């Protein structure tokens, strides 16, 4: 198909898909710059429209007028659990199992050391996703040293064969950050638990993009950030999921005063709070915490299943457009074609990827680059439409001449 033929066909198809899109109206819940196709929400989500006013109220009234009274009167003190319960349905978790605060790295450290302490005696290995985001690997190796385990890099495809009676903990990413490959959370969780291991999932690239089902699949522990598909803002606090069955025995390596059963007793001995609250450490970062709470209002009335259906349709359509607009052989998709193995992004391998992405951004199509040769496009169904996908692929074709 020539480009002159492809453009009207694909543009008309995009218009029809957008007209039928039940989530299309949700774009109004976000503040996006005119003329820009934003396909980097898997790094930093767009600004939800209600956040600016909510944050202004936190600063000017709650902090500026009420001052320290806001810990009670504005319910600052309970924000970590309250916002955790707001995130929980997006993770497939019942209330009381998610606490918000700290960074993903800090929560991962808590989860891994806590998992090692939950594991049975005589277990010596911590299996770590070999393709994980680097920080996860750094934290895992440190946690292993602290707990006497040996960190073993393992491809998720090889985890089943690697599991054994000496496996204490398994750390996996639900979606690979480079390729967008979706891993089998239900199957791998069941296998790890059958082997007597404790499994920890990193949900940074899946929560808010697809159903997770933490409770349904009996996941032990999970962590994730909130500034990607949950649109919480740059540096917004992360979350820690502790399955209810593990809460009484979960022994955090960071026993801060906020996780104490009676924080204001100021006793020298530490007694952990009940439930997921024991995952708290220090004073909550209220400004970013409450910006996140306001951002999550964008999810009101939205079903994660509908988000997943649109995500798959968007990525399918984008790949069709890339095939039509980009000369054959110049890009190669490294994202699995099968829906069951695909997250909510498309990663394309090409030469001079850094320069190509720089040129795309200059033309109003914002994705990102991952070394050494990957163009990464994230599709956030709450505010990305099919016309965006068509324009992005057409612009990529223009960049290639």
| Catalytic positions, written as ranges | 133, 202, 227-228, 376
Closest CA to 254 of 80, 145, 101, 97: 101
Q: How far apart are the first and last CA of the chain?
A: 16
What is the secondary structure of 59-76 as a DSSP string? IIIIITTTGGGHHHHT--
| Angle at 178 (CA atoms; ends 177, 183), nearest 5 degrees | 55
Q: Which residue has the tokens 């979960």?
A: 250
Is 212 in contact with 91 (CB distance < 8 Å)? yes
- Pairwise CA distance, residues 274 & 374, whole Å: 45
Is 134 in contact with 148 (CB distance < 8 Å)? no
Closest CA to 121 of 160, 142, 149, 159: 149
- Pairwise CA distance, residues 168 & 327, whole Å: 49
Is 87 in contact with 228 (CB distance < 8 Å)? no
Please give the structure tokens belonging to residue 18.
Answer: 């957008």
- What does R_g of the chain's alpha carbons equal in angstroms? 22
């Amino acid at each position: 198909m020539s480009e002159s033929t492809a453009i009207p066909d694909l543009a008309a198809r995009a218009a029809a898909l957008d007209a039928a899109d039940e989530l299309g109206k949700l774009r109004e819940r976000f503040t996006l710059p005119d003329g820009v196709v934003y396909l980097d929400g898997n790094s930093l989500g767009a600004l939800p429209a209600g956040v600016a006013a909510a944050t202004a109220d936190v600063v000017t009234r709650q902090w500026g007028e009420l001052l320290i009274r806001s810990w009670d009167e504005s319910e600052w003190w309970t924000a970590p659990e309250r916002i955790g319960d707001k995130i929980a349905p997006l993770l497939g978790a019942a209330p009381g199992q998610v606490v918000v605060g700290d960074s993903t790295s800090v929560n991962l450290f808590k989860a891994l050391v806590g998992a090692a302490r939950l594991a049975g005696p005589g277990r010596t290995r911590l299996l770590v996703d070999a393709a994980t985001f680097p920080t996860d690997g750094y934290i895992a190796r440190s946690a292993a040293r602290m707990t006497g385990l040996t960190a073993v890099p393992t491809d998720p495809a090889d985890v089943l064969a690697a599991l054994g009676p000496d496996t204490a903990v398994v750390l996996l990413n639900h979606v690979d950050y480079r390729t967008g490959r979706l891993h089998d959370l239900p199957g791998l969780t069941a296998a790890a638990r059958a082997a007597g291991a404790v499994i920890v999932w990193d949900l940074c690239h899946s929560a808010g993009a697809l159903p997770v089902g933490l409770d349904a699949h009996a996941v032990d522990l999970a962590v994730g950030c909130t500034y990607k598909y949950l649109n919480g803002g740059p540096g917004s606090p992360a979350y820690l999921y502790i399955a209810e069955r593990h809460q009484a025995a979960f022994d955090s390596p960071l026993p801060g005063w906020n996780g104490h059963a009676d924080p204001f007793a100021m006793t020298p001995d530490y007694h952990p709070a009940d439930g997921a609250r024991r995952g708290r450490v220090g004073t909550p970062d209220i400004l970013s915490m409450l910006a996140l709470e306001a951002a999550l209002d964008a999810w009101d009335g939205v079903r994660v299943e509908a988000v997943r259906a649109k995500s798959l349709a968007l990525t399918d359509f984008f790949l069709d457009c890339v095939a039509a607009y980009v000369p054959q052989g110049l890009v190669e998709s490294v994202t699995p074609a099968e829906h069951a193995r695909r997250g909510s992004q498309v990663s394309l391998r090409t030469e001079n990827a850094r320069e190509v992405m720089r040129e795309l951004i200059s033309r109003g199509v914002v994705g990102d680059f991952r070394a050494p040769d990957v163009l990464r496009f994230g599709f956030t169904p709450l505010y990305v439409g099919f016309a965006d996908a068509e324009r992005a692929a057409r612009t990529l074709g223009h960049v290639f001449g």
